[in-house]
Amino acid sequence: MKIKIFALIALLAFASKGLKAQDEILEKLKEIAIIDQKVMMPMRDGIRLATDIYRPKTDELVPIIFSRTPYNFNSWGDGKQRNYTARRAYEAVKRGYAYVVQNERGRYFSEGEWDILGLPLTDGYDAFTWMKNQSWSNGKIATLGCSSTAEWQMAVAALDHPSHAAMVPQGYGAGVGTVGPYFEQGNWYRGGVEQMLFFAWLYSVEHDKFKPRIPAGASQEDLIRISRFYDLAPENPPVDMAAALQHLPIQDIIQNMDGKREIFDKMVRRKPNDSAWFQGGLYHQDMKINVPSFWFASWYDVSIGPNLALFNHVRNPENSSAYDDQYLVIAPTLHCSYTRAKENTIVGERSVGDARLNYDEQIYAWLDLWLKGVDNDFKAKTPRVQYYTMGLNKWQAAETWPPEAAVMTSFYLNSNGEANTANGDGTLGLGMPEEDEPDTFTYDPMDPVPSYGGNVCCTGNAVKGGAFDQQEMEEREDILVYTSEPLEEGVELSGFIEATLYVSSDAKDTDFSLKLIDVYPDGRAFNLDETIQRARYREGYDKEVFMEEGEVYKLELSPMATSNYFEKGHRIRIEISSSNFPRFARNLNTGGDNYNESVGIVAKNKIHHSKTYPSQIRLPLMKTFKANTF
């Protein structure tokens, strides 16, 4: 009993400390800011969006940093997001900016019905117009935020509001619909396979249609008063997400958790090329972005590939008049974890060294340039691309992504037909095999390969993100392992990683998954990135073409991306299987809709490798490598 009492006292003390810190930042904010909370900003259709405004105590006109979010930012109470809002507002105001934070339509005190990315797009445009017209505004607005506060920025930027002077999107992949080789529809898919992060995320955030609502026309005074007591934040019952995501059919997963599922029910039935993906708030590559942008991505984010492809897309003069005003930072962290980098940054189980960076200094120099017209040296001293190379454990600079010195180099899969497990005979080398001795493995959707680490977000306890030692996983017979010889010299790999597989199956449809691995001399095998492809979409996402037994098919997998230095004595490895669950939804192999099915069939899958079927992975190696390195 004493132990429990001491634990309770400690917990209360910790909570009290957190509340005290929040009170302190709020008091500091009050000293320097004019605070105007629960301003109900009108949209063109009469719907009002709840908005808090923090601006410097000055008579001078000020620029605005705008954050739009589906999350709770009520400054009363002890929530993490609310404390973040106060700190972000304080940092902005002390630098001479107004900080405006707004809930998306239908969230918390904002009126209307919510949809992902805060539809309609006109809400963003209308908010810019309202802010521009305020008596204290200098008419210059920047958008800033990570994840859900970033993902809406690109499509709204394409509306080209004259006051949208700059943006800082961070971890923004769920706002990217289609770009380059990626057809992910905002992280819902990869290679035509559902990414299950939204299954977990929507359970945690979607408000019920029967939620309590503030009466229409409530005054600002009333809203401020009641927000001290009621923040309208639902408290969802805790769920073992690792168990919950096992449920079949997948269309019933949120229902099986007693969750709110109106939006999920629509999305889970959409195929990759459904017209609905092109009518909402996602950015697609036929939309021009003419806003100067400072992009932030991270190696272990769920959408590192599309993020980098979008940066390259906007760097093309044909796609943006602001092509020369695009800058990029790539950190070796998880989703939105840039500032958590430490002197010894550990991502998963792997130390990547001192990955700290002066993020705020760079961001505010960028904002000063575009919103205040400060003649600073941001462009002169800031590299176009700042990227962190793991293994080498240092920040590097380049004018392009991939770096100009990166050379795509093909490594071919080979074996004597026994590449199953890390103890098999699968090799990865520069030479193309002569004869085809395919590797065969059995994929049972009722016993999928479990996700272990990786480039993930938002799945609760179902998947831990980051680099983890894959040795135990590589004992499974349904994983094919192809490994290079130990490197005679170290080599840097920085850029997009492309893979071509020649496959066959006795099933009408199945998936093929792939991981890129850095193997240490002591056997530890750390994952760098991963991808997957559903065979029925091998000819495009606008059609479904099923396989026939005995036929060999060519698959081009969605590219991966990383920057990693393979030290002398390390080996490069890829793993191939047909599942990575619950990172990706499992294919039941029937050729049916999959989302509404509960019973799967076992597939016998093959990887072919020869001059006729040159299965390969193409790696962006820096020019300094020598052929005899491998």
- Of 303, 292, 270, which Cα lies nearest the Cα of 179? 303
For residue 38, give the nearest of 97, 98, 109, 93 by alpha carbon: 109
Cβ atoms of residues 524 and 517 within 8 Å: no
SS3 content of the chain, % helix, strand, coil (to 5): 25, 30, 45
Under DSSP, the state recorded for 133 is T
Nearest CA-CA partner of 388 in 330, 305, 312:
330
The per-residue pLDDT for 212 is 83
pLDDT digits (tens, 9 = 90+) for 13-54: 444 444 455 678 889 999 999 999 999 999 999 999 999 999
Query: In the prediction, which pLDDT does 382 show?
Result: 98
Taken in order 187, 191, 192, 194, the sign of the CA dihedral is negative
8 Å CB contact between 281 and 116: yes
Distances (CA, A) of 486 to 85, 432, 474: 49, 19, 18
Quote the CA–CA distance of 378 and 388 in Å, as a whole number: 20
Q: d(Cα 4, Cα 514) in Å, to the nearest integer?
A: 47
Strand partners, 386: 329, 397
d(C-alpha 39, C-alpha 408), whole Å: 53
pLDDT at 75: 67
CB neighbourhood size of 113 (10 A): 11
* pLDDT recorded at residue 23: 74
Pairing relation of β-strands 553-556 and 491-505?
Answer: antiparallel
How far are the Cα atoms of 413, 452, 472, 474 from residue 525, in angstroms, in the given order?
18, 12, 10, 9
Q: Exposure string (b/e) for 283-311, b if CB count within 10 Å is 16 or more? A: bebebebbbbbbbbbbbbbbbbbbbbbbb
Q: Which of 177, 150, 395 is nearest to 293 (CA)?
A: 150
- pLDDT by residue (tens digit) across 590-612? 999 999 999 999 999 999 999 99
- Residue 213 confidence (pLDDT): 84
Instruction: State the average pLDDT for the chain.
Output: 94
How much is the pLDDT for 623?
74
Residue 71 · residue 65 · CB < 8 Å: no
Exposure of 495 in the CB half-sphere (CA atoms within 13 A): 23
Q: Are 103 and 70 in contact (CB under 8 A)?
A: yes
Instruction: Please name the residue that has the structure tokens 């991502």.
Output: 347
**Would you state the structure tokens that stand for residue 52, as one six-digit string?**
């808090």
Contact between residue 495 and residue 402 where contact means Cβ atoms under 8 Å apart: yes
**Cβ–Cβ < 8 Å for 84, 29:** no
So what's the pLDDT on residue 626?
61
Domains, the chain, with CATH or none: 406-629 (2.60.120.260)
pLDDT on residue 286:
97
Alpha carbon separation from 281 to 115, 156, 265, 436 (Å, rounded): 9, 8, 18, 47
What gap in Å lies between CA 119 and CA 280, rounded to an integer?
Answer: 7
Whether the CB-CB separation of 427 and 433 falls below 8 Å is answered with: no
DSSP 372: I
pLDDT given for residue 79 in this prediction: 54
Tokens of 483: 């490994």
Task: Give the Cα-Cα-Cα angle 48, 53, 58 (nearest 5 degrees).
Answer: 140
Instruction: Please tell me what DSSP assigns to residue 158.
Output: T
Rounded CA-CA distance 27/13 in Å is 21
Helix (H) or strand (E) holding 130: helix 122-132
> How far, in Å, CA of 200 to CA of 214, rounded?
28
DSSP 237: P
Q: Check the CA dihedral 357-359-364-365 and report its sign.
A: positive
Rounded CA-CA distance 471/392 in Å is 23
pLDDT recorded at residue 343:
95
Instruction: Tell me the pTM.
Output: 0.94
Spans of the chain below 50 pLDDT = 1-19
pLDDT of the residue at 231: 83
Distance, in Å, from the CA atom of 617 to the CA atom of 557, rounded to the nearest integer, reads: 10
Per-residue pLDDT at 77? 58
Closest residue by Cα to residue 121 from 172, 157, 81: 157
Q: What is the distance between the alpha carbons of residues 245 and 250, in angstroms, rounded to a whole number?
A: 8
